[in-house]
């Protein structure tokens, strides 16, 4: 399994406020805050991005762009795996059962699938 391209991660996160959750240049866990104040914690793995404590807002545009650029899926807090259809044949056994396959991960698709698990901006 190929590790995520951290140059891509840094490039996508550069326009937003993003801080590693742990000290280290190769860390793959980040806290992100978008210009509208929405926040999320993410972990970047080969083939997917895990999200924690997501808030409704512009931060999702960053996560969707990151998933697109890394050709990765998004693991939603309830355990649902939102991923592009072309990943279906590459998933480990059993992971397909909890997945929602879409042609492309868009903001509208993400909000439909993950909406109930996103925290409102406070």
HSE-up of 56 (CA within 13 Å, CB side)?
12
Instruction: Band the pLDDT of 35: cuts 50, 70, 90.
Output: very high
How far is Cα of residue 90 from the mean position of the Cα atoms in its chain? 18
pTM of the predicted model over 0.75: yes
Average pLDDT along the chain = 85
CA distance 55 to 63: 12
CA distance 72 to 90: 11
CA distance 62 to 34: 8
Contact 33, 39 (CB under 8 A): yes
Q: Map out the domains of the chain as residue ranges.
A: 6-117
48-60 confidence digits (pLDDT tens): 999 988 888 899 9
């Amino acid at each position: 399994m190929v590790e995520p391209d951290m140059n891509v991660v840094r490039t996508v996160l550069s326009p937003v406020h993003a801080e590693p959750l742990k000290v280290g240049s190769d860390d793959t866990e980040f806290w992100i805050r978008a210009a509208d104040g929405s926040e999320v914690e993410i972990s970047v793995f080969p083939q997917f991005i895990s999200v924690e404590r997501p808030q409704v807002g512009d931060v999702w545009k960053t996560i969707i762009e990151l998933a697109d650029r890394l050709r990765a899926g998004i693991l939603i807090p309830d355990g649902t795996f939102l991923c592009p259809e072309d990943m279906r044949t590459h998933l480990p056994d059993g992971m397909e059962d909890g997945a929602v396959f879409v042609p492309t991960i868009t903001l509208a698709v993400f909000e439909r699938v993950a909406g109930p698990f996103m925290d409102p901006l406070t």
